Copies of this chain bind each other. A is one copy, B any other.
Amino acid sequence: MFSQTVEYALRAVVCLADRAPSACTTEEIAVATKVPKPYLSKVLQALVRHKIARSQRGIGGGITLIKTPDQLTLFEIVNAIEPIARIETCPLGLKSHGKQLCPLHKRLDEAAAVVQKSFEETTLSDLLSAPKGVYPLCESPKSAGIAEGVQPAKKTD
């Protein structure tokens, strides 16, 4: 239901929020989120253009979020990459009803509205404050090793 690019952007932002307010390099994010690095850099550029993240070149540089995780919503990320397409007017171009949608498109738009609302109400903090044994991204860079006493294996992937 969402594009691959949106998925990548969300992973990257979760990763950034997890390490906020420190900076992450594209390389670090790519490894943590398993997103192809060259493509990830494009996605991150889009986030920078949309004023969601800030980039700093040079040694010690990287990407940082502009907002704090508790002020940043899923909606903002999704909207930056691929806005949720709300149905404002009749897709068939009928002018007979002003903003009145036919039942079909009313339903479709309601579905989109529910998704949008859900995303607007979810902050990155919400995702990071794992309620019970579920970890930030799917990776569990901090908690997992501590909780289970497992040494993270050398990354060969």
Contact = CB atoms under 8 A, between A and B. Distances in A.
A11 B93 CA distance: 13
A105 interface: yes
Contact of A144 (B91, B96, B135, B138): B96
Interface in A29-50: 33-34
Interface residues of A, number: 48
A53 interface: no
B94 A138 contact: yes
Contact of A110 (B14, B93, B101, B118): B118
Copies per complex? 2
Given A93-B34, A112-B1, A115-B115, A136 B102 contact: yes
A114 B114 contact: yes
Interface in A78-128: 84-85, 90-94, 96-97, 100-108, 110-112, 114-115, 118-119, 122, 126-128
Given A1-B112, A112-B1, A118-B114, A134 B103 contact: yes
